[in-house]
Structure 1
Amino acid sequence: MKKPKKRNKIPFIILFIIHTSMLGYSFYKSKNKKQLFTLLMADIGFAYLLEYVVLNVFHAYTYKPKIMKKNFFDNVFGAILSQGIFVPFTAVFSTVLKIGWVGKLFLGGVYFSLVEQIFIRLKVYKHNWWKTIYTVTLIPLYFKISDWWNMFLDKRNPIVRVISLFLMILVTEANLLFLFAATRKIRFGIGRYHAWREHFIMVPLYAITLSFFSTLSFLKQNNWSSKLRVLIMTIGLDQLFKKGKVVKDKFHVVDYFTVRVLAIFLYGWFRDIVYGVRNRGEQNSEGKVLEKNDNLT
């Protein structure tokens, strides 16, 4: 008897509730919620970049949450749940609670390897060439990178702040582009027929390019000039892709500009979070109260 598709969703829903609760507790405990949000988005960005190589290009594993009708979209959506929620939310939890190496090995290695094996047995996930030992090794290291990143954010390291802003924009662009593809608004590819596999290899490169130039535009300040530069650059990049016949879209011009303008204002807000002003009495992630106005720029 064929297993009802709705059963595939249950393990993902359970993990969603668990890890969302962990993130909620992390924000409750954090003394600097803006920095924690920056860290969260950076952690998701790192996970997305790794997932692009491991899943999109080399197809290391397959997710089967049975939430979306097309298998290719369902697989990518499962990856978004994993790399955009389950793993990064846990990394932030580990950083906020200052969990040591032993805890990271248990929470990152043991816990996620057990989840992996359970998902395989439930047939909602399968390995193609990936091995559980990679999970056991890489996730605790990823958790430690989250700790280091938070430390450098505390120190206001200029390189870390620039990369953080880039990753915040990248995560947003990646999620937007997935939504556009899922609603059949956009598809990337070369040639007359644009296959979805080809789309999901090309679209992250588009998102990376757009995020890079947006980061450069907002690097000095968030003003109307910066926003206008990003809008012009975005339109120019889109027209370049269209003339090169590597993208097809079904956007109404009003919808396109609405989404793009809202996204640009969001990226300006990201810039203010990363390079904003801490006022007297505000605390850093260690709970230390700042004694005077401290301009992060």
Structure 2
Amino acid sequence: MKWDMSMKKSKRNKIPFIILFLIQTTLLGVSFYKSRNKKHLFTLLMSNIGFAYLLEFFVLNLFKAYKYKPKVIKNDFFDNIFGAILSQAIFVPFTALFLTASKLGWVWKLLGGIYFTLVELLFLRLKVYKHYWWKTVYTLILIPIYFNISDWWNLLLSKKNPVIRFISLFLMIMVTEANLLFLFASTRKIRFGFGKYHSWTEHFIIVPLYAISLALFSTMSFLKENNWSANLRVLLMSIGLDQFFKKYKLSKVKFKGVDYLSIRILMILLYGQFRDWVYGERRTVELENFGVEKVAEIVSNRD
């Protein structure tokens, strides 16, 4: 009987998240369908997710502002983090991308803020989400600001602002690394912490710091170009970082060496691809340089 009640509660909790997931995914599909530059749009999306992840690190991981209850994962701690990933990687960023890509003005952004405020109130009423010290008014204020940041970021990214490009690549790598580490943790392949026993609270405080460190080094390595030298530097750094964590007993890893190395190489190749999407492929840069040199040569010959 208790098991049946638990199953019913789990199903009831999932439904609001599934409905919202379908709505927001539709908005994402429309955004990409209409876009001519999908690489640019993907970069903006990952940047938006990165902003949300950085905020979530302080609000949820460190200061426990609220709790999600999607009842998708049996472990309550992972279920809470999974709910946060749905919110910060799908629900809000997908909407921000849609508003920016559709060039909708401040009225729509205010309506978007009201929309998410009403969703939050509904989730509270359905008891699939719980406040500790967070207040709904914070959502009402912060969401429209977040939507405006997306517009501003898109504009500067279009103008190829070097600072915005650098931060965008950093956020893309950080988000991917954080999601990968969540997958590893949920399958019990890796666990961070202090001392003999590593609690999940400690794990989810260390994970963002790990992801930020690796993302920052990777971004700096790929800044000039995506080549084998940059790939090798990032690989050596990631191996060194993992060895540091193992040496000081800050991580427990259940990976075979070959498996870990294969995954790490694939991720580094992906990060290099991110770099090319943000800065343009290496061949394009080389052709541009060749064109400049050719023009200079022609002018020189005429003189």
Q: Does 1:137 align with 2:148?
A: no
Once the two structures are superposed, the pairs formed by residues 1-297 of structure 1 within 5 Å of their partners are 2=5, 3-107=8-112, 109-276=113-280
The one-letter amino acid of 1:81's match is L
Separation of aligned partners in 1, 2:140 and 2:289: 41
The one-letter amino acid of 1:159's match is V
Judged with a 3 Å threshold, the aligned counterparts in structure 2 of structure 1 residues 131 and 294 are, in CA distance, closer, same or farther, namely farther
SS in 1 for 2:204: helix
Q: Give the conservation status (yes or no) of the 8 Å contact 1:277–1:294.
A: no
Which 5+ residue runs of structure 2 have no aligned equivalent?
Answer: 291-303
Per-residue CA deviations over 1:144-166 (Å, capped at 9, x if unaligned) read 00000000011000000000000
SS in 2 for 1:201: helix
Instruction: Compute the RMSD of aligned alpha carbons.
Output: 1.8
Q: Once the 2 structures are TM-superposed, how far is the Cα of residue 209 of structure 1 from its aligned partner? A: 0.3
Per-residue CA deviations over 1:168-197 (Å, capped at 9, x if unaligned) read 000000000000000001111111100001
Greater Rg over alpha carbons, structure:
2
Separation of aligned partners in 1, 2:47 and 2:259: 28
Judged with a 3 Å threshold, the aligned counterparts in structure 2 of structure 1 residues 9 and 149 are, in CA distance, closer, same or farther, namely same
Judged with a 3 Å threshold, the aligned counterparts in structure 2 of structure 1 residues 55 and 74 are, in CA distance, closer, same or farther, namely same
Q: Once the 2 structures are TM-superposed, how far is the Cα of residue 277 of structure 1 from its aligned partner? A: 5.2
Separation of aligned partners in 2, 1:34 and 1:279: 17
Judged with a 3 Å threshold, the aligned counterparts in structure 2 of structure 1 residues 136 and 278 are, in CA distance, closer, same or farther, namely farther
Q: Identity over the aligned pairs, expressed in percent?
A: 69
SS in 2 for 1:126: strand
Q: Once the 2 structures are TM-superposed, how far is the Cα of residue 278 of structure 1 from its aligned partner? A: 11
The structure carrying a bigger helix percent of its residues is: 2
Judged with a 3 Å threshold, the aligned counterparts in structure 2 of structure 1 residues 278 and 17 are, in CA distance, closer, same or farther, namely farther
SS in 2 for 1:187: strand
Separation of aligned partners in 2, 1:45 and 1:294: 33
SS in 2 for 1:4: helix
The one-letter amino acid of 1:70's match is N
Cross-structure match for 1:286:
none
Per-residue CA deviations over 1:106-153 (Å, capped at 9, x if unaligned) read 11x110000001111111101111001000000100000000000001
Runs of 4 or more consecutive aligned structure 1 residues displaced over 4 Å after TM superposition: 277-280
Q: Give the conservation status (yes or no) of the 8 Å contact 1:278–1:294.
A: no
Separation of aligned partners in 2, 1:279 and 1:36: 22
Separation of aligned partners in 1, 2:116 and 2:180: 28
Q: Give the conservation status (yes or no) of the 8 Å contact 1:39–1:92.
A: yes
Separation of aligned partners in 1, 2:281 and 2:234: 23
SS in 1 for 2:174: helix
The one-letter amino acid of 1:252's match is K
